[in-house]
Amino acid sequence: MVFVDGLGLGKKAPGINPLESGACPHLHDLIVNHAVPVDACMGVDGLPQSATGQTSLLTGVNAQEVMGRHIEGFPGPGLCRIIKKENIFSRHLALGLTATFANGYYLNDPAEARLLRLRSVTTVATLAAFGGVRDLSMIERNEAVCHDLVRQTLRDRGYRGPTITIEEAAGHLVNIANHHDFTLFEFFLTDRAGHSGDMGFAKDVLGRLDQLLAHVLRDLDTSSGRLILTSDHGNIEDMSICRHTTNPVPFVVLGKDAEELLPKVASLADVTPALLGLCD
């Protein structure tokens, strides 16, 4: 499952919507032919935000409703309690299945993620389920995928290893996915690009994601596995504003049980129960 931060379904207007600009043909095809629209507002007024949206997505609990509002950025104690108890990783483990978070962190030790001052929803969930994250040594062994795919952001922070191609990153991701019942990868540059208001940056980021998807689709066995792609709220699909949108987000399923899964998901909180329902 590829979680893409800040990817909504917008207007067919290439001037403001980079998804309609030809920058990401594979993603565009997935959205048009293999997706349903999903509500990210969750019955709560205001603009959908990351902390509550991701919690709903990865737990099945309507976190917006529980908290009474949309909460930005990083989860506080209330959301962390929900994530620790209900996260999709732990629930796969409880069913006797394997699960993992494929993202690699710029840390020398897996448990160091506990010391991070700001912990994302995915970090909290990963620590709750596994006690640690994929660290630098795993990135070096190609057993983790950097959020920017090519490892440039690691080099900017002092990493001495080489950058890699998006095709190589896709190969590493598919390899991790082939060894687990459920694998999550988080791509959040889309949300950054949406906030930037920079159409060139947005097209570049979507182009990178598109290359990843093209290679994953080539390498993934969709007769036995499936690609899922979804988001927590809209943003990048409307570059005329630099903030989140109330647009629905796509829930893409390609591969095994796609026809069974797609009609079961109408809001963010339906994703985790729908996926776990296939595991019974």
Angle subtended at Cα 97 by Cα 83 and Cα 126, rounded to the nearest 5 degrees: 30
Q: How far is the CB of 185 from Zn ion (least distance, A)?
A: 15
Minimal CB distance to Zn ion: which residue?
50
Q: How far is the CB of 211 from Zn ion (least distance, A)?
A: 22
Q: How far is the CB of 48 from Zn ion (least distance, A)?
A: 8
Question: 5 or 86: whose CB is closer to Zn ion?
Answer: 5
Q: Interface with Zn ion by CB under 5 A: which residues?
A: 5, 50, 191, 232
As a whole number of angstroms, the distance between CA 126 and CA 90 comes to 9
Question: 191 or 237: whose CB is closer to Zn ion?
Answer: 191
Question: 57 or 177: whose CB is closer to Zn ion?
Answer: 57
Q: How far is the CB of 112 from Zn ion (least distance, A)?
A: 24
Asked if residues 74 and 258 have their Cβ atoms less than 8 Å apart, the reply is no
Question: 105 or 188: whose CB is closer to Zn ion?
Answer: 188
Per-residue tokens: 35: 């997706």
Question: 49 or 100: whose CB is closer to Zn ion?
Answer: 49
Q: How far is the CB of 61 from Zn ion (least distance, A)?
A: 17
Three-state DSSP state, 250: strand
Q: How far is the CB of 232 from Zn ion (least distance, A)?
A: 4
8: left (phi over 0), alpha (psi -120 to 50) or beta: beta
Count CA atoms within 13 Å of residue 193 on its CB side.
29
Question: 52 or 183: whose CB is closer to Zn ion?
Answer: 52
As a whole number of angstroms, the distance between CA 79 and CA 74 comes to 9
Bridge partner list, 267: 39
> Which of 224, 226, 220, 191 lies closest to 205 in space, CA to CA?
191
